[in-house]
Each structure stands twice: as structure tokens, then as C-alpha cells.
Amino acid sequence: MPEILPSILSADFARLGDQIEALEAAGCRMVHLDVMDGHFVPNLTIGPPVIESLRKITKMTFDVHLMITDPDRYAPIFIQAGANNVLVHQETCPHLDRTLRMIQSEGARAGVVINPATPVAVLEDVLDVVDSVLVMSVNPGFGGQRFIKNSLNKVRRLAMRKREFGLQFPIEIDGGITLENVADVVRAGVEWIVAGSSIFHTVNPPAAFKEMRRLAHDAAAIRV
Ligand code: DX5
Ligand code: ZN
């Protein structure tokens, strides 16, 4: 069944702990944490201390999306802080196979991310190593952007490869997901759905989470 991963980038940072606890109470099992360094992407966000503090208040899986130029240097520090899944961009990893294996040897699940302009084909030779693949459906850096439709083709292509090779990794999507398009991405083959503004920029984030999960589960039930 698909999982909805609220992205705290759009949360109210003054009430972050409360918002995370409320989502967990609503049945949320995974949360997405965006790390930006102002170099790989033109924005700055959180670092290890925030993850370490949040780790103390929740058992949810931490899906840590590293939008930084030197993931090899920082991945172990984020794992130490409490990251369960560490996601690195293909565009920042000249030795991607080595980086993924390093993350796994440090005790986390290794995910790889591709930008909208990066083809699925570049991942072909690491698909048997990865624990998840995230298809960016916006250009990374900011919440609240519009979904890029070609991402659906990329997800279908990836789902095809996955079937062809008999692999099990979940396909994840990040950027511009709303109540209107969540069913489309599930039907294309997505299992982990990241959603920031469409959950946190509402009056009741736990209710928005539940509604999105309901739509995703309904779409999965009729997926062929
Ligand atoms: C963007 C981040 C996303 C962001 C998504 O670079 O990777 O995780 O929070 O936000 P929405 O869901 O608002 O597009
Ligand atoms: Zn993200």
C-alpha cells in the first residue's frame, strides 16, 4: 500500500514537534526531511541537530533528502543523527555505487534521487543496489511548485525496469503532489508519496494527510 510522507519543509517550524506528533497520531509512519546547502540548490534548510531533536519525539521513519554537493561527507553524520533512509542525488555523486553502499554500511537505507532533467536510464546499473528511487517532479529547492507532468512517464519507465529486473525497491515522488494528482502518480507506479504544502498549508494537516492517504489507497486498489 502507498505511504504518504509529509515534507516538513512546509511545516510551521515554531510548532514542528507538535505537528509531527499530530501526524503520527493520525497514522503517519514516514516523514520526509529536506536538507539543502545553498549550493546544489538555491535554498538553505535544516541540519543534523534538528533531526537529532526530532528523533527523540517520534518513532516514524525519517526519509532524509540530501540536496547538498557533498553527500559522502555528510551522510554518516545524518545517519548518526537518526536518519533511517538517506537519499542522495545522482547529480551530486560521481561514484554513485560507492556512495549507496557506504550509506548501507553505515546502517541506513540508501535512496537515489533524479532531477526532472535526468533520465531514468542513468540509474540502470545501480537498480540492484538501491533501497528506493525518488523521481523529482519539480526542480528541487522549494516547496509549493507545480508538478512537472513528464515525471509520470519517468515513473512508468522506472516501474517497467523494476518489473523487468524483478526488483522490489519502492518508487518515490517529490514535488507538486496534491489531492488532485495523487491518484495519477499511484497508478503510474509510485509507492512513496512526498507532500509538503498540500498537507501543511491547510487548516488541518492530519486531516489533509488522511485524505491524501485515502485517495492513494483507493488508486492502488484498482491499479492494474
Ligand atoms: C523540494 C523538496 C520537497 C518539497 C515538496 O525541493 O524536495 O520535498 O518539500 O514540497 P511540495 O509538496 O509543496 O511541492
Ligand atoms: Zn524532498
Query: pLDDT for 68-102, tens place per residue?
Result: 999 999 999 999 999 999 999 999 999 999 999 99
Q: What is the pLDDT of residues 64-77, one digit of tens each?
A: 999 999 999 999 99
User: Which residue of the set 37, 63, 131, 174 is catalytic?
Assistant: 174
Structure confidence by residue, pLDDT tens digits, 194-215: 999 999 999 999 999 999 999 9
Q: CB of 213 closer than 6 A to ligand 1?
A: no
- 127 CA from centroid of ligand 1 (Å): 24
What are φ and ψ of residue 84, in 5° steps? -95, -45
**What is the number of the ligand closest to the CA of 182?**
1
Query: For 1-38, b where at least 16 C-beta lie within 10 A, e where not — what string?
Result: ebbbbbbbbbbeeeebeebbebbbebebebbbbbbbbe
The response to whether residue 181 sits with its C-beta less than 6 Å from ligand 1 reads no
Return the pLDDT at 136: 99
Mean pLDDT to the nearest integer, 170-194: 98
Q: Give the ligand with the smallest distance to the CA of 175.
A: 1
Residue 222 pLDDT grade (very low, low, confident, very high; cuts 50, 70, 90)? confident
Q: Which of 12, 18, 34, 63 is catalytic?
A: 34
| pLDDT tens column, 21-68 | 999 999 999 999 999 999 999 999 999 999 999 999 999 999 999 999
Tell me the β-bridge partners of 111.
Answer: 87, 132
What letter represents residue 189's amino acid?
G
- In total, how many domains does the chain have? 1
Looking at all shown ligands, the one closest to residue 41's CA atom is 1
Residue 223 has pLDDT above 90, yes or no: no
Percent of the chain with pLDDT over 90: 99
Residue 145 pLDDT class (50, 70, 90 cuts)? very high
Residue-number span of the structural domain to which 56 is assigned: 3-221
Active site residue 125: no
34 is catalytic: yes
- Report the CATH number at residue 46: 3.20.20.70
Q: Residue 120: what pLDDT?
A: 98
Q: Do the Cβ atoms of 197 and 146 come closer than 8 Å?
A: no
92 lines ligand 1 (CB under 6 A): no
Measured in angstroms, how far is the CA atom of residue 78 from the centroid of ligand 1? 19
**Does ligand 1 lie within 6 Å of residue 194's CB atom?**
yes
Residue partners of 210: CB distance under 8 A and separation at least 6: 26, 27
User: Does ligand 1 come within 6 angstroms of the Cβ of 141?
Assistant: yes
pLDDT per residue as tens digits for the range 1-17:
999 999 999 999 999 99
CA of 64 to the centre of ligand 2 (A): 8
